[in-house]
Structure 1
């Protein structure tokens, strides 16, 4: 075609007037030309929604309508009437000597990163899964660091959900926590998973209205902490929010703010099946990625779930047939909100170096709650830090999942899961602050491990290191592992394959990528997404947690593999799903690459 300036000749004006529309290709771009109401219009032939050829659409009253999903576009500028469709690109036209000329490369109004950032906000506000998928893929393809859209989603999720932090934001935190463990394409899936869960969680919810901080910086930290805990105790969410915002506004350090929150989150054992403390820990993990500048809004979103939480000390399971709360009160110093007894124990252990006794894990998983509480109290007295003790309890909780008996009711998977993720949250929190109150979280988690004991009756055996040295190729084992997720009930086989992979010298990083891929191709629910993240975190931490002990290399190898065996079994119990989210992701990826979706 002849080139004049930036315009290229296409078809004769007479032919276009007679046909009403023509499909042309200019510099490899398919462009739909329309003659409507005496004007020539040119638009990208691909409908921005799902790629249907717009040359096969209808034009009336200045509106171009796509025939596939009925997306409508203002013909002269390409703007859509329907937010789920996106605007269609238009091209300048000129008539020269009876020929229609088109400029196929006009400047874009927005660069790709800004365009997809705008679309992400639309997808969140309207809860549009395909828009969310296209925008997250588009942003990462444009070289945008995942933390930027993460910040957008975090801000949206805390602003537009009156009931505060929920499962959606927790999923966002979990997915960004594991994002570096995944293959590049699965990183897009992970971000998409987090974003769509936040959008779902906020859909049809009223927005949040903030309480201001106090207009003073003269309140001592201990008093502010006391006020905060008192407000939470009587479920005064507004008062608690003002205290928390004041702590942030007056420049309290991250460990101090963490202490304030975690103290209230452990004033009663195992709040809301562990979700409250897990939410709080995930919020701090999100701030580690997006920056402390977002702390005010992010942490304030934790107040409502904290103040409205179910309290386990009000449950019969914690009171009968053995009063577990009374056991805790004896250690804490009078009631479940006390810490004086723990402070005395920690004072005795100051300066000492603690290593878990040989039978410590067996005690934690025993059927004697008094022995469990005594073992923990003695550990604190002997110098065990909150982090070291939390690591032991987290391993015991992971073992419950790894040994879960499949004869139990399916819903009981979540019982052991909640204990595991709570114990992991305590472990992570203890690495952030050395607040004495976190010892209470360790005791609470340990007693929940005790309460879960019947779900390991009889316990499913965990393959010992070296028991599966088949000599098979490691990649073949990973293929078999993914195949188990295609079959219902392949729970024990999934755990055995993880053990075999370790025994055959497989690379743990490759195993984690495979588990991540297996998770993200499914319509995985909140708990399954949580479970994998907790398992990855425990796997990464367990080596450091036991290096200072007197355990053998075999002990270390056993502890290292338990979290990944546990999560493989948990995933296998919940898969396969219909994979609707994966279908949407695949369509979005193909559309962003310019591939044809419609075959008609």
Structure 2
């Protein structure tokens, strides 16, 4: 087979005496005619388009013809605009350099350059560009790994786009991200930082499933960027020597959690995992996270739910280090001495704990109850009254999922009505909202007693946000009944997205209510609001709340999730739209996602910009 860079005169001589049985003029086996020798004079280069989104660069160096992909593997600049010296091709944009013969790149965060065999037939140039079959999975996974270590968003987006375009499954891509994340969190992050990263990772994956194309790539790239950072070596965690029973591990973890000794908890969890006792781990972690002394650590509960989702999706094999290390940091984290009201709340929950732990929740099946009385107590700025109202609802047999829905809709309603003339309190309010929704995970993984305690954590969060001056409103009070004057759903949706982008915080909520009152599809509107969120630099801030809103609005398979048919259900979308509008920057530093998509299709940046 001819090799890349054959001397032109030697090849011409060889072509005049072809080997027997070989038709050197055949266009088979991927050979393509790309021009003549006269088209590429010595010292010159030329680009030839060989298919849609794919071009070959031809270089004549001292009479030898070289053929490479014309797209720089770094950021897609046309390599025909580069410089060749001493057999090294250097891109003219960012200076990435390559071996012109073999294509090897001399820089990091850059794939090797693809080179092609050249055949000269008479005065015609032929290149064996091969087919478009994807064969660079391992190289692009390595590229993604480099991007994760450096935190370079372009490299992460580019590698992800190349892998997806090559048919590599999203599951395989995220497995690599998880392996990196486990070591990154273990060696570089505390409980808060690690928990936020996992929240963004899970949110990016779950939101991304609702989209395709560039929108899906954006969500995945946000997840990858959140997980990026240094991943240092650390001492190996050693299994405790046998015999060690689960009962011992359970007792030790609870004791170490009270004593804020996270490093001891990790070894216990690692031992349980190695002993095949992982089925018990999340129940124990959730029970620790909702202990009275963790009142005020709202993100602990939500982030443990995200960890559980990671294991459900990818298994313990990929997530073991992440769960054991971050789970230990969460339930063993340090706690300051609580201030007066906080101390009173801890004491109240400690008094209720025996009742909550011993109760038979099989009787909690009621869905009709005095919701307004509970909401009135939660907003009373009286923590004792608030806690007593939650306890009464549980004693009255109200279903835990129904109570969770009340907390979710109350938080959404507060986001839908918070004044924005001063500090709207979006951070605390979104925490309130996300915590309430995460109690569904507590219920699923930690059991009803843990979820019941979690309700008091949610009640405390509302009390702690008492500085946000939001007028009280009964949740069963009807919302305004006006309809949109748009001729159709698409126009009404476009107007709402325009209101978000034009920062019309005072009008966007009414537009959402009008859209929904018109009978238009709320799920489609949510997708459009989500798309507007993804393509703004506030995407990281809003991503967990967007994910929760998707799950609550769609119901997640639970008839009570999202309050289907509830008078305040529309507030889920109103609150999200107002939040997205008020914090919006109308700036997108991740616009390179578009370029990454075109890059994965083989197009140069010049072609992209020409579009």
Q: Same fold (TM over 0.5)?
A: yes
Structure 2 CA distance for aligned equivalents of residues 448 and 366 of structure 1: 13
In structure 2, the CA distance between the partners of 1:38 and 1:272, relative to structure 1 (3 Å rule), is farther
1:357 is matched with: 370
Q: 2:206 — aligned with what?
A: 177
Structure 2 equivalent of residue 336 of structure 1 = none
Given the alignment of the two structures, is residue 227 of structure 1 paired with residue 240 of structure 2, yes or no? no
Partner SS for 1:505: coil
Shift of 1:309: 3.5
Structure 1 residues 501-549: Cα deviation after superposition (integer angstroms, max 9, x where no partner): 210111122022112101111112543111111222222339946499x
Q: How does 1:22-41 map to 2 (within 5 A)?
A: 22-26=46-50, 30-36=55-61, 39-41=64-66
The worse-fitting range, judged by mean Cα deviation, of 230-239 and 98-107 is: 98-107
Distance in structure 2 (CA, Å) of the matches to 1:597 and 1:247: 52
In the alignment, the residues of structure 2 paired with residue 25 and residue 566 of structure 1 have an alpha-carbon distance, to the nearest angstrom, of: 50
Q: Would the aligned equivalents of 2:110 and 2:143 in 1 still touch at CA under 8 Å?
A: no
- From 491, 508, 526, the equivalent of 1:476 is 491
Please list every run of 5 or more consecutive structure 1 residues that lacks an aligned counterpart in the other structure: 333-339
Greater CA drift, 47-56 or 207-216: 207-216
TM-score (norm 1): 0.86
Alignment match, 2:237: 211
For 1:283 and 1:196, the matched residues in 2 are separated by 18
Deviation at 1:75, TM superposition (A): 1.0
Give the one of 437, 442, 447 matched to 1:434.
447
Q: Pairwise mapping of residues 97-176 of structure 1 onto structure 2 (< 5 A)? A: 100-105=125-130, 111=135, 113-161=137-185, 162=187, 163=189, 165-176=194-205
CA distance in 2, matches of 1:539, 1:547: 8
Are the structure 2 counterparts of residues 59 and 577 from structure 1 closer, same or farther at C-alpha, using a change threshold of 3 Å? same
Match of 1:293 among 317, 329, 345: 317
Q: Which residue of 1 aligns with 2:9?
A: none
The alignment of Structure 1 onto Structure 2 pairs a total of residues equal to 574
Structure 2 partner of 1:55 = 80
Aligned to 1:585: 593
The secondary structure found in structure 1 opposite 2:223 is helix
| Structure 1 counterpart of 2:419, from 386, 390, 405 | 405
Instruction: Return 5+ residue gaps in structure 2 as ranges.
Output: 1-23
Give the root-mean-square deviation of aligned CA atoms. Answer: 3.2
Task: Write out aligned runs for 1:512-551 (5 A).
Answer: 512-541=526-555, 544=558, 546=560
Q: Using the alignment, how far apart are the partners of 1:493 and 1:516 within structure 2?
A: 18
Give the Cα separation in 2 of the matches to 1:249 and 1:467: 58
CA contact (8 A) 1:231 1:237 kept: yes
Counterpart pick for 2:106 among 81, 84, 104: 81
- Aligned residue runs from structure 1 range 137-536, under 5 A: 137-161=161-185, 162=187, 163=189, 165-199=194-228, 202=229, 204=230, 206-216=232-242, 218-219=244-245, 221-252=246-277, 254=279, 256-270=280-294, 273-303=297-327, 305-306=329-330, 309=333, 311=335, 314-316=338-340, 318-319=342-343, 323-332=344-353, 340-344=354-358, 346-347=359-360, 350-355=362-367, 356-359=369-372, 360-409=374-423, 412-434=425-447, 436-458=449-471, 464-465=478-479, 467-472=481-486, 473-488=488-503, 490-536=504-550
Supply the distance in 1 between the matched residues of 2:232 and 2:268 (Cα, whole angstroms).
Answer: 23
- Seen in structure 2, the aligned counterparts of structure 1 residues 358 and 528 have a Cα distance that, compared at 3 Å, is closer
* TM-score, reference length from structure 2: 0.85
Kept in 2, the 8 Å contact 1:116–1:135? The answer is yes
- 1:450-469 deviation line (CA, Å, top 9, x unaligned): 22234143469999446122
Q: Which residue of 1 aligns with 2:6?
A: none
Tell me the SS of whatever aligns to 2:567.
Answer: helix
Between 1 and 2, higher relative CO (CA 8 Å, sep ≥ 6) is seen in: 2
